Amino acid sequence: MDQGSLYQRLGGYDGITAFANDLLPRLQADSQLGRFWQNRGDDGLAREKQLLIDFLCTSAGGSMYYTGRDMETTHKGMKISESDWGIFLEHAGATFVTLGIPEQECNDVVDFVLRLKAEIVDG
């Protein structure tokens, strides 16, 4: 049975935007991860959020066109550690729970995100 693309199963653009709107404040407020957003202007934060939404929409099978850089270039030099990665995954899990995202969709998103780890984490 075809349930549609992951994009459709996550609620399309609105569902993915809700995910970003819940996740980013969690990451920014985290005592360890917040350093990545320090001294950033509102315009830069808004642009980053839109790029995240576009990337997730495109990656999940939506018709958005992602114009940002690849994940390795985007995260190069940020010194993202294994510990940072683990905390990110915890926050993403909390966002899944808050939004009531079904288990299969959570698993599909986690599988996708784990494939990006080598491009994001230093070391």
Q: List pLDDT tens digits, range 9-59.
A: 999 999 999 999 999 999 999 999 999 999 899 999 999 999 999 999 999
Q: d(Cα 6, Cα 64) in Å, to the nearest integer?
A: 14
Q: d(Cα 66, Cα 61) in Å, to the nearest integer?
A: 12
**3-class DSSP state of 105:** helix
Q: Chain-centre distance of CA 69, in angstroms?
A: 14
Query: What's the confidence (pLDDT) of residue 64?
Result: 85
Q: Are 53 and 10 in contact (CB under 8 A)?
A: no
| Closest CA relative to residue 58, chosen from 75, 71, 44 | 71
Q: Within a 13 Å sphere around the CA of 38, how many CA atoms are in the beta-carbon half? A: 8
Q: Are 51 and 93 in contact (CB under 8 A)?
A: no
pTM: 0.91
Domain 11-120 class, CATH top level? mainly alpha
| Cα radius of gyration (the chain) | 14
Instruction: State the chain's mean pLDDT as an integer.
Output: 94
DSSP state of 78: S
Q: How confident is the model at residue 102 (pLDDT cuts 50, 70, 90)?
A: very high
Q: Is the pLDDT of residue 89 over 50?
A: yes
